[in-house]
Amino acid sequence: MSTLGVLAVAGLLTFGTRLSFIVLEGRVETPPLFVRALRFVPAAVLSALILPDLFAKGGVLRLDPHNPRLWAGAVAALVAFRTRNVLLTIAVGMASLWLLQYLLAA
Amino acid sequence: MTAPSSTFTRRHEFLSGCRDELPILLGVAPFGMIYGLLALGAGLSPGTAQAMSAIVFAGAAQVVIAQLVHEGSPGLVVVLTVFVVNLRHALYSASVAPYLRRLKAPFKGLLAYLLTDEAYAVAITRYLRDGDRTAVSPHRHWYYLGAGLTLWACWQVTTAVGIFLGARLPENWSLDFTLPLTFIALVVPALKDRASGAAAASAGVVALAALGLPYRLGLIAAALTGVGVGLGVEGRS
């Protein structure tokens, strides 16, 4: 497949996923197990995308306390948990990262 | 709250949706630029990189696609990974579906195209805020449209800016960190019970353990594990 071909298929698949239940609503009975499983998809997928960004760099695990992304991510998670405010979470997370990078470099 | 009927106009709904989407753009704008940078870095042409933002219109998936294309992954692996990464949108689709039931097919299609994490978060907050009040606006889907189009425009423009700036964005600003931060802001409030917490934790551990696998296959393994563990924990409690 050419790159554009891959993009076209990926785009159609994404659109189909987003359209799925909007179109099926009231027409098809969805299997209960599928609906139950679907509930865990965002938590599982987003976590699988986030954690390597915090715990690894360039495909190598970085579990040491001098990893600024780990701490900044933890602070951001705490802010998200306490405030549920997207803007504040991003702002505090970035500010923490910059501060830690500055401190750890010093 | 009893709003006068004038606040229920399409125009008002649309503009309120645009306005309520604005704060979330702070996380999306750097992310769009980062995507533009990464896509060029992965060897995509500027035209292809920009086209992907319109065709796929899903930030996380686009970054993963760029990485996979760069690695020379088979098309089937790319498509399968995109499917898994974007499967969460099926949940959003199910969640908003009851509110869109009466719309015509083209409007449903348009709103489905705009159903990203960030537009969903804003639109569903509005729908849930209305709750079971009887005096809900008949034009609420214009609110969703406003939120979705605002995000769409921001994504297309910031992609272009990222492509244009190329390597001129200073790397030590670490703007790529806005990507996990946006996801943290979206996922943490959703971890309401033990089962979803277990799903997130197990998926994260598998993703880390599988870092060495080619083509980011760990992502698929992690997603499947997380869903399985979530179901298991839920079934036992």
Note the pLDDT of residue B169: 65
Interface of A with B in 29-68 (CB under 8 A): 30, 33, 35-56, 59-61
Mean pLDDT, range A60-88, rounded to an integer: 90
Give the confidence band of A8 by pLDDT, cuts at 50, 70, 90. very high
The DSSP line for chain B is ----GGGGSHHHHHHHHHHHHHHHHHHHHHHHHHHHHHHHHTT--HHHHHHHHHHT--HHHHHHHHHHHHTT--HHHHHHHHHHHHTHHHHHHHHHHHHHTTS-HHHHHHHHHT--HHHHHHHHHHHHHHTT-S---TTHHHHHHHHHHHHHHHHHHHHHHHHHHGGGS-GGG-GGGHHHHHHHHHHGGG--SHHHHHHHHHHHHHHHHTTTSGGGHHHHHHHHHHHHHHHHHHHH-
Q: Which two tokens stand for residue B153?
A: 């425009």
* A66-86 exposure pattern, b = at least 16 Cβ within 10 A, e = fewer: ebbbbbbbebbbebbeeeeeb
Query: In this predicted model, what pLDDT tens digit does every residue of A12-41 receive, in sequence order?
Result: 999 999 999 999 987 877 788 888 888 898
Query: In this predicted model, what pLDDT tens digit does every residue of B104-118 receive, in sequence order?
Result: 999 999 999 999 999
B235 to chain A, closest Cα gap in Å: 10
Where is average pLDDT lowest: A9-13, B30-34, B50-54? Answer: B30-34
Note the pLDDT of residue B134: 60
Note the pLDDT of residue A59: 74
Where is average pLDDT lowest: A7-16, B41-50, B102-111? Answer: B41-50
> Does residue B119 surpass a pLDDT of 90?
yes
Across the interface, of B24, B52, B180, the residue whose CB is closest to A53 is B180
> Does residue B196 surpass a pLDDT of 80?
yes
Mean pLDDT, chain A, rounded, equals 89
Query: A4, A49, A78, A81: which to substitute to probe chain B, counting the most B Cβ within 10 Å?
Result: A49
Give the confidence band of B7 by pLDDT, cuts at 50, 70, 90. low
Residue of B nearest to A86 (CA): B185
Q: In this complex, do A80 and B189 lie within 8 Å of one another by their Cβ atoms?
A: yes
Where is average pLDDT lowest: A89-98, B43-52, B77-86, B174-183? Answer: B174-183
The answer to whether B190 touches B196, Cβ cutoff 8 Å, is yes
> Which residues of A fall within a CB distance of 8 Å from B190?
42-43
Mean pLDDT, range B50-64, rounded to an integer: 92
pTM: 0.80
The answer to whether B44 touches B69, Cβ cutoff 8 Å, is yes
Mean pLDDT, chain B, rounded, equals 88
Query: In this predicted model, what pLDDT tens digit does every residue of B74-102 receive, in sequence order?
Result: 888 899 889 988 988 998 999 899 899 99
Note the pLDDT of residue B79: 92
Q: In this complex, do B27 and A24 lie within 8 Å of one another by their Cβ atoms?
A: no
Q: Which residue has the higher pLDDT, A86 or B12?
A: B12
Note the pLDDT of residue B1: 47
A-B interface: how many C-beta pairs under 8 angstroms? 254
Q: Does A83 touch chain B (CB under 8 A)?
A: no
Query: In this predicted model, what pLDDT tens digit does every residue of B122-173 receive, in sequence order?
Result: 999 888 888 766 667 888 999 999 999 999 999 999 999 999 987 666 767 7
B95 to chain A, closest Cα gap in Å: 8
Note the pLDDT of residue B218: 87
